[in-house]
Amino acid sequence: MPVLFPHSVLRASLAVCLLGVLSACANTNLGDALQRSLGADPTLKDNPPKNLGRPSPNKPQSTPQKQKSVPLPEDFPTEIPRYQQATLEQVEPLKDAAAPGKLTIWSSPDPINLIQNFYQKTFESGGWEVLDQPEEQDGGTFIVRRNDLDVTLSIPSRATTGKSSAASSSKPPAVATNSSVTTFDIQYVRDGKDTKAEKPQPSQKPTQAQKPTQPQKPTQPSEVASKPDQVRSGEPEKFTDLDKVPRDLRKYVADLAKLGVLTPGTANPKTNADSQGTQFAPNQTISRRQYARWLMDANNRIYANRPGLQIRLASKTTQPAFQDVPRTDPDFPYIQGLADAGLIPSPLSGDSTAVLFRPDAPLTRENLMVWKVPLDTRKALPKASIEAVKETWGFKDTAEIDPKALRAVLADFRNGDLANIRRVFGYTILFQPKKPVTRAEAGAALWYFGSQGEGQSAKEALFIKPQTSQPSGAPKAKPSN
């Protein structure tokens, strides 16, 4: 039967054996190694351990800190609603804007639909004119207007969350993207065309040394858009060089000048010196932009008592139809308005190749016909061929006419003595479709709008005052002989 020893006796025996081994290894390399391995760490004496697992109050944490908001621009309109859970990340100036404004970029942890619903309800109930808004609840663009303030709010779709989709910014914003953050931008432009700008200021009261200012004439519909100072229309012009207008065209130009359609020539500013008076420069070539403005002004003034026949100016928030006529162009409301009405070739009318308007290029004879004749017929132009035009007009150069202009040239022939070609160019067997048009010729073409038996001239329009309440079919006043 084995003998059992108590545990205390075993532990004491092991301790005696270990002590003996350590005593035997004293003053040897093995002893020093054992002493160092079993001894306390001497570095802990001067460097006590940190509070493990607890953040140090003096050391910044590695967790990302919330980015500070960019200061709000001083000119940021108070009318624009602000989403409370959004932070302003970046502010950029508008490069091509003609009026003061900025592009502001915001971020929010909220999803797209909450932000979109907020702005949709706020714009609809806050007195804003909503020109465009998203059709789906998955992001899009709001275009709104209130008084003189134009606002474009772009919210990206879920596929592009975190990236700016503003069309006016040529580079992506320098804002860190995050799949859980919705980034949207607000562009605002204040064009200064509010009614309050027309009210006299207290400081403008007349004094003894200052005569009271004359009241301004009421603005006509075609005067809404801004124009360069040298080319403003709307008031009758007294040109001093009408004697230089070809004799057969002089009466047409004189009537349009009295109607306030024509503008002074600008090719040589010296000719407009006070000593020489206002010069019309009738034999200068007219540009496409200038004729577009005259075309709309003449039509709207001649039909001042028939709003249904007038052409509407385009809003500055309208998407440009031409790449070379941006919203900042002073003639954008005119050129874009003609494109919106389908009166000039553009991608809107199905001509995908007409992406450039070339506003400063000379107006050609075939351009004049393509733009003007639809305002005479007020209906679809007839089908035309080279043979049909050659048979009616007898032009020897019919084959040189652009196919798009053949229909207008043929329709003009059916207007008899009121045809633009007969009034402007007289009898001719050469149309010369690519020949530039002079300012006097352009004025003669715009003297009359309509077809035989149903039309109106600039001379007749001088005797008619706009009557908004008068039915469009009311009899017209006849000019005195």
Of 28 and 94, the structure prediction assigns the larger pLDDT to 94
Q: Which two tokens stand for residue 384?
A: 């035309």
Proportion of the chain above pLDDT 90, given as a percent: 41
Residue 194 CA to residue 188 CA, distance in Å, equals: 15
Mean pLDDT of 281-298: 94
pLDDT of residue 295: 96
Q: Greatest CA span in the chain, whole angstroms? A: 155
Instruction: Say yes or no to pLDDT of 188 above 80.
Output: yes
Do residues 286 and 439 lie in contact, with contact meaning Cβ atoms separated by under 8 Å?
Answer: yes
Q: For residue 146, what are the β-bridge partners? A: 149
pLDDT tens across 145-172, in order? 888 888 888 888 654 444 433 333 334 4
Q: Is the pTM of this model over 0.85?
A: no
Of 273 and 464, the structure prediction assigns the larger pLDDT to 464
Of 33 and 185, the structure prediction assigns the larger pLDDT to 185
pLDDT of residue 213: 42
Of 391 and 200, the structure prediction assigns the larger pLDDT to 391
123 band by pLDDT with thresholds 50, 70 and 90: confident
Highest-pLDDT range among 32-36, 156-160, 178-182, 469-473: 178-182
pLDDT tens across 351-382, in order? 888 999 999 999 999 999 999 999 999 999 99
Question: What are the residues whose beta carbons fall under 8 Å from the beta carbon of 210, sequence distance 6 or more?
Answer: none
Nearest to 418 by CA among 450, 386, 385, 379: 450
Q: Which run of H or E residues covers position 372?
A: helix 365-377
